[in-house]
Chains A and B, each alone.
Chain A
Amino acid sequence: NAGVTQTPKFQVLKTGQSMTLQCAQDMNHEYMSWYRQDPGMGLRLIHYSVGAGITDQGEVPNGYNVSRSTTEDFPLRLLSAAPSQTSVYFCASSYSTATSDTQYFGPGTRLTVL
């Protein structure tokens, strides 16, 4: 199993450009989520999905869009990039059981917006 994969690893955008960060998992997990990590801020939840076709907002959703058309994929779209979106982005997935909340993380995408 590849686990959780993310592409690209690095990306530089200009203000106003749009792009999609890709995330895929091969563990048949129902739950998937996107976080951003900023210095001194920990990991903050952007959007999450509890299954194909179901998504919802986390604590910092503005400027981002998601969709979940398959169990495996959960892309994150930046509609019009801003310097405040410079960050490291992590995708995660987990089983939907009451006894296991362990999330598995991808390696991250480092995004710089100029």
Chain B
Amino acid sequence: DQQVKQNSPSLSVQEGRISILNCDYTNSMFDYFLWYKKYPAEGPTFLISISSIKDKNEDGRFTVFLNKSAKHLSLHIVPSQPGDSAVYFCAAPRGSGYALNFGKGTSLLVTP
């Protein structure tokens, strides 16, 4: 039973526009969420995180929003750039944080 869900396998956005990637979760005990970015033939790299005591966290062009009542979070990329084309994974810690629960990922394509 997947506890972190990304229901959009792919997203295509024009350069300069906003990219919005969505993630839902089922476990209300999750108190921390992370987004990872993955390029082909590379390992995932950490992008941005948010604690459940916040509803927004911003880092440059990347902002993550958390709606606890809806068990939903989203990653906004503004403005989108071709170099942002990658697979984005939403994740939440397992147990004490020894590993992560990952969503299935959303493949973002930013076109010039």
Among the listed B34, B41, B89, B96, which residue makes an inter-chain contact with A42, where contact means beta carbons less than 8 Å apart? B89
A53 within 8 A of B: no
CB neighbours (8 Å) of A35 from chain B are: 99, 102
Interface of A is mostly: strand
Tell me the chain A residues, 34-50 only, with Cβ under 8 Å from chain B: 35, 40-45, 48-50
Given the known inter-chain contacts A98-B97, A101-B32, please indicate yes or no for A42 contacting B45, CB distance below 8 A. no
Say how far A52's CB is from chain B's closest CB, in angstroms: 14
CB neighbours (8 Å) of B102 from chain A are: 35, 42-44
Query: Which of A14-22, A76-84, A103-111 binds B?
Result: A103-111
Size of interface on B: residues with Cβ below 8 Å to A: 23
B49 within 8 A of A: yes
Given the known inter-chain contacts A42-B102, A42-B104, A92-B99, please indicate yes or no for A105 contacting B94, CB distance below 8 A. no
Chain A residue with the shortest CB-CB distance to B44: A105
Tell me the chain B residues, 33-64 only, with Cβ under 8 Å from chain A: 34, 41-46, 49
Tell me the chain B residues, 61-82 only, with Cβ under 8 Å from chain A: none
CB neighbours (8 Å) of B99 from chain A are: 31, 33, 35, 45, 48, 58, 92, 103
Among the listed A4, A90, A101, which residue makes an inter-chain contact with B93, where contact means beta carbons less than 8 Å apart? A101
Among the listed A4, A48, A98, A102, which residue makes an inter-chain contact with B34, where contact means beta carbons less than 8 Å apart? A102
Across the A-B interface, the 7 shortest Cβ-Cβ residue pairs: A105-B43, A101-B97, A42-B104, A101-B93, A33-B99, A43-B102, A42-B102
